[in-house]
Amino acid sequence: MSYAVAKAAGYVLVHTPDMILHNGTTQTVEKRSNPNSEYLKQLPNHLRSYEEVVSYPPNQVYIGSMKPEELQNYEMPWYDKKVEGGKREGKLGEIMPQDEFIGLMKISDVFDLVKLNTSFTNMVKEKLSKHPLITEQMIAKLKEGEEMNDINKYINEQDAEPIYNNGDVVGCVKRAHEVDVNLNAHVIFENLVVKASGVLSFIHLINKNNIDPESIDYVIECSEEACGDMNQRGGGNFAKAIAELGGAINATGSDTRGFCAAPTHALIQAAALVKSGVYENVVIVAGGATAKLGMNGKDHVKKEIPVLEDVLGGFAVLVSKNDGESPILRTDLVGRHTVGTGSSPQAVITSLITAPLDKGELKITDVDKYSVEMQNPDVTKPAGAGDVPESNYKMIAALGVKRKELERKDVATFGKEHGMPGWAPTQGHIPSGVPYVGHAIESFRNNEIQRAMIVGKGSLFLGRMTNLFDGVSILMEKNTGNEKVQTEGVSEQEVKSMVAEAMRDFASHLLGK
C-alpha cells in the first residue's frame, strides 16, 4: 500500500490587539484578581500596530514570504527589526487585521450570536469585499448591522461578551444558553475565533493550491479549544463546521485533542487514513486560541518590550494519496512518547527521535531538518523559558554524540545545520512541529532536502487527569516518483510479482495432488 503525501499547506496570522486586553487569559485573570494593577495600566502602551506586526521577521516566515533559515540574517532580538517591503500576503497565507477578522467571526456565526453595529458592519463589508478569498455569499452573512442601544442591552442585561476594535465596543457575542457554562458568551467568543481562523486557514489552503474543496473527504480539527454543551462539554465538531463554510460539501470530519501535540497526532492520523484507502484527501486544520494572547505579557511589559503574543495562529495541511511528487509521510517510522517512556530528556528524545530512526536504519544526521517546538525565542526568552528550539536541538545532538553519530564539536552547529530558528507564535498547538510542513513541501520539491521529521509535544498534566506529558513524531521523505510508488518495504511491482509467484506455487500444489 502506497504512503500518503503531504500535498499542500496554508498558514494565517490574525493581529488582535483588543483581544489581548479583553480576552487573553493572563489579562482577564488580572482584571478579576487585581483590577488596578500597574501591568493593566501599562499594557496598552506596549501593543504593536498592524504594520509592525506585518513587517516582523518571524511573521513573514510563518506566512511563507521568507524561509526559516533567513531569520539567521537578523540579529536577535527581532522585535525591533523589520522586513523591508514585508507584505500582508505570503506564499502560504496572510496576516489579517483585527477589523476584518471580526467580520469573519460574524460570517462564521450560524446561530446569530454575533451582533455588530451598523457603522462597523458597513466599514468591514467594504474591506472584506476587496479580499480575494471572501465571496459575495460570505459577505451577505454580515447582514445590515445592529443599533448600539441593542448591543449595549445584550452586554449589560444578558452577559454578552463585548467585541472591541481600536478600544471601542463595536458589537458583542451573545450567550447561547442562559445557564450552561459551556455555552456562555465568553466560551462562544473563543469558539467562534477558533472557527473563523480555521476557516481562513482552510480557504488559503484551497485557493493557493488550486484544490477543489469538493474533493476533500475528511477534515480533522486539532486546535486546543473544544466546543459542546453541558451534556458533552468538549464533544463538539469544529472540523465539520469549518468544512461547511470552506465549501467541502463532500467531507465529514472530527476533532482531535492532545494539547500542543494534537497537530502531529492529526498528521499521523490523516496519513494512516489515506494510506489505508479509507479516504483519498484529508485536511488537518486548526484555528487560534484567544486564551493564549498576551500569555507572557507581564514579562514583556516588565522588560519594556512590545507584547509579542498579539496574533492568533492558524494552519491547514492537505494529506492525499501518493501523487509521485509531494513528500511522503512515513507512517512506519513514527515516534511515540508512551505511558511508560518516562520524563527524562534522554528518554523523550529516544522515543520521539531515535526509536523511529533505528527502525528505518537511519542515523540522526540522515534527517536534514527537524521541526521541533518551533516557538519564537523573542517571546520565550524574556519570559525566562529560553530558546525552546535551540534546547531541543542540543538534546538531539547530545544523543547523536552518545550514539557516535556526531562529534562533540558538532553539538554547537547541529541546530543551524539540521534545525531552524523558532518563528511560530506561542499558541500552544501552533508551534509544535507543523509550522515547517508548508516550507518542507517546497524544499522537497526543490530538491533541497531528502528527509524531515515533524515532532509534536503536549502537556497532558495541564488537564489534571494525569501527570504525564505527550509526544509523537513522523518522518517526511522525498517522493521517488510515480514510476516507483513507495510502499513499506517493497514496490507495487514487487507485490504483484510475489502474488503471482504465490498463485503459481498454489496451482502447482493442486496439480500435484
Torsions phi, psi for 396 (to 5 deg): -65, -45
Q: What is the pLDDT of residues 411-421, one digit of tens each?
A: 999 999 999 99
Element (H, E) at 39: helix 38-42
pLDDT at 496 exceeding the cut of 70: no
Q: 431 preceded by cis ω (within 30°)?
A: no
**Per-residue pLDDT at 343:** 85
DSSP string, 136-198: HHHHHTT-S-B-HHHHHHHHHHH-PEEEEETTEEEEEE--SSSS-GGGSHHHHHHHHHHHHHH
Residue 469 banded pLDDT, cuts 50, 70, 90: confident
Question: Can you tell me the mean pLDDT for 322-344?
Answer: 96
**Cβ atoms 365, 405 nearer than 8 A:** yes
Question: Can you tell me the mean pLDDT for 184-201?
Answer: 98
**Cβ atoms 114, 106 nearer than 8 A:** yes
The C-alpha atoms of residue 436 and residue 445 are separated, in whole angstroms, by 14
pLDDT at 387 exceeding the cut of 90: yes
pLDDT at 510 exceeding the cut of 50: no
**Cβ atoms 22, 164 nearer than 8 A:** yes
Q: What share of the chain is helix, strand, coil (3-state, %, to 5)?
A: 45, 20, 35
**Per-residue pLDDT at 506:** 43
Q: In 3D, which of 326, 397, 329, 405 has the Cα closest to residue 362?
A: 405
Torsions phi, psi for 314 (to 5 deg): -145, 155
Q: How far apart are the first and last CA of the chain?
A: 34
pLDDT at 503 exceeding the cut of 90: no
Cα distances from 460 to residues 190, 261, 343, 470, in angstroms, run: 21, 9, 12, 6
Measured in whole angstroms, how far is the alpha carbon of residue 78 from the centre of its chain? 22
Mean pLDDT estimate for the chain: 94
Residues in the chain: 513
The C-alpha atoms of residue 357 and residue 334 are separated, in whole angstroms, by 9
3-state secondary structure of 278: coil
Residue 487 banded pLDDT, cuts 50, 70, 90: low
Question: Can you tell me the mean pLDDT for 391-412?
Answer: 96
**Per-residue pLDDT at 495:** 45
More confident of the two residues 506 and 457? 457
Of the listed ranges 107-121, 198-212, 491-505, the one predicted with least confidence: 491-505
Q: Strand 328-336 and strand 311-320: pairing?
A: unpaired
**Per-residue pLDDT at 481:** 86
Of the listed ranges 8-12, 363-367, 448-452, 494-498, the one predicted with least confidence: 494-498
C-alpha neighbours within 13 Å on the C-beta side of residue 408? 0
The C-alpha atoms of residue 489 and residue 181 are separated, in whole angstroms, by 52
**Cβ atoms 305, 382 nearer than 8 A:** yes
Q: Identify any residues that bridge with 5 across adjacent strands, giving them in sequence order.
A: 320, 328
Residue 485 banded pLDDT, cuts 50, 70, 90: very low
Residue 219: exposed, middle, or buried by beta-carbon count in 10 A (0-12, 13-18, 19+)? buried
Sequence-distant contacts of 433-436: CB under 8 A, at least 24 apart = 433/263, 433/264, 433/267, 433/371, 433/372, 433/373, 433/374, 433/473, 434/263, 434/264, 434/267, 434/315, 434/317, 434/371, 435/11, 435/62, 435/315, 435/371, 435/374, 436/68, 436/369, 436/371, 436/374
**Cβ atoms 208, 93 nearer than 8 A:** yes
pLDDT at 326 exceeding the cut of 60: yes
Angle, vertex CA 44, rays to CA 38 and CA 49, nearest 5: 155
Could you list the beta-strand ranges (E) of 356-442. 369-371
Q: What is the pLDDT of residues 70-100, one digit of tens each?
A: 999 999 999 999 999 999 999 999 999 999 9
Q: Strand 93-96 and strand 5-15: pairing?
A: parallel
pTM of the model: 0.93
**Per-residue pLDDT at 250:** 98
The C-alpha atoms of residue 91 and residue 253 are separated, in whole angstroms, by 27
pLDDT at 484 exceeding the cut of 70: no
Q: What is the pLDDT of residues 267-307, one digit of tens each?
A: 999 999 999 999 999 999 999 999 999 999 999 999 999 99
Q: What is the pLDDT of residues 195-247, one digit of tens each?
A: 999 999 999 999 999 999 999 999 999 999 999 999 999 999 999 999 999 99
C-alpha cell at 438: 508548508
Q: Which domains does the chain have, with CATH numbers?
A: 5-479 (3.40.47.10)
